[in-house]
Structure 1
Amino acid sequence: MSQPVPPPGNPFADGAAPQQYPVAPPSAPARDNLALGLVAALVAAIVAAVAYGGVSGAIGREIGWFAVGVGFLVGFAAGKTGGSNPVLPVAGGVLSLGAVYLGQLISLAVLGAKALNVSATELFFDHFDLLTSAWKEDLDPITFLFFALAAFAAFSGARKAAG
């Protein structure tokens, strides 16, 4: 007498025990490090401000999408490193406002340095009062739109990165 042949596709038809697979590793702990998120957002804000100001000064105009990028970079850094702490999106928005402002001042320093035949760093550090006066004179609704775009991008970027 011959043994019955199990139907194809059913590995347990002959009574064999199912293969044991290793247990999945536990999920990563939730990130919730406010201090690290704030430090990362601050570093990202400084880097983004220098890049924003340098590019805007080199081409002689501001780019609205660059302000969005500044905000998103700051918010993303805050959320990715700090986690889902509810303070981080707000802090990212505030830091992105500072980054856009600093970037605009750097842009004015680059433009002024070209016109005055001095270095941009000298103009920025030695004549900061002139830069802020020039910035105030140059204020228009577009400036405030750039601020709003950057803050919104930072807030949403921090929330998306934390999730």
Structure 2
Amino acid sequence: MSQSVPPTGNPFADGAVPPAPAPAPVRNNVALGLVAGLVAAIVGALAYGGIMRALADEDGSYSEIGFLALGVGALVGVALGKLGGRNPILPIAGVPLALLGVFLGQMFGYALMISWWSELAGTPLTLTELFTSELGNLFKAWKEEADFMSILFFAIAGYEGFAITKKLGG
């Protein structure tokens, strides 16, 4: 005997329960997560530095925005959590990767600004020169500009790198 469909057109109207969906596959690819996290840190650094340069003025002033650090940390966390999965090492790895992204972003931003300002002054320095023969001076400039807000930006990025990875991976 065949089973008939109730007149409502709903095959489950008689109280039958539909089958449960298959469980989601467990993601646990640490290597992919770490590579994605590193790429995210680099992409975040490029965006961070570019925005720093875009906000700079010809008189040598510039603005740093805390949301940039938050964005770098979030980007790293999403990459680690979505592609790496649940491995407990990934949230911990999110902290130094996010810090690296903010540091590289600040260094890139300073390099872009110094290159621009040196060109305006008539003694141009290229990014290549700044990241090779002038790297020590670039790092010195970064250290001299570091203040409480810079440390706060690092803390924000590190926290976001950890928290978002943990939330998305778990």
TM-score after normalising by structure 1: 0.83
Structure 1 contact 58–110 (Cα < 8 Å) conserved: no
Please report the RMSD computed on the Cα atoms of aligned residues, expressed in angstroms.
2.4
Partner Cα distance (2:33, 2:163) in 1:
15
Partner Cα distance (2:150, 2:108) in 1:
15
Partner Cα distance (2:115, 2:42) in 1:
21
Partner Cα distance (2:15, 2:55) in 1:
67
Partner Cα distance (2:104, 2:17) in 1:
59
Q: CA deviation at 1:125?
A: 3.4
Partner Cα distance (1:106, 1:33) in 2:
30
Q: Structure 1 stretches of 5 or more lacking a match?
A: 1-7
| 1:63 aligned partner | 65
Is 1:50–2:46 an aligned residue pair?
yes
Partner Cα distance (1:64, 1:18) in 2:
55
| 1:150 aligned partner | 157
Partner Cα distance (1:83, 1:112) in 2:
40
Partner Cα distance (2:17, 2:136) in 1:
72
| 1:159 aligned partner | 166
| 2:31 aligned partner | 35
Match of 2:107 among 98, 105, 111: 105
Partner Cα distance (1:159, 1:152) in 2:
11
Q: 1:18 to 1:64 in 2, by over 3 A?
A: closer
Q: CA deviation at 1:25?
A: 5.0
- Count residues with an aligned counterpart: 150
Q: 1:115 to 1:160 in 2, by over 3 A?
A: same
Return 108-117 or 119-128, whichever deviates more: 119-128
| 1:88 aligned partner | 90
Query: Bigger radius of gyration, 1 or 2?
Result: 1
Q: Deviations over 1:93-114 (max 9, x none)?
A: 1110011000000010011011
Letter in 2 for 1:51: A
Match of 1:76 among 75, 78, 89: 78
Letter in 2 for 1:79: G
Structure 1 contact 37–83 (Cα < 8 Å) conserved: yes
TM-score after normalising by structure 2: 0.79
| 1:5 aligned partner | none
Match of 1:138 among 119, 134, 145: 145
Q: CA deviation at 1:19?
A: 8.3
Percent identical residues: 47
Partner Cα distance (2:153, 2:17) in 1:
58
Q: CA deviation at 1:121?
A: 3.8
Q: SS of 1:29's equivalent?
A: coil
Q: Structure 2 stretches of 5 or more lacking a match?
A: 1-6, 57-62, 120-124
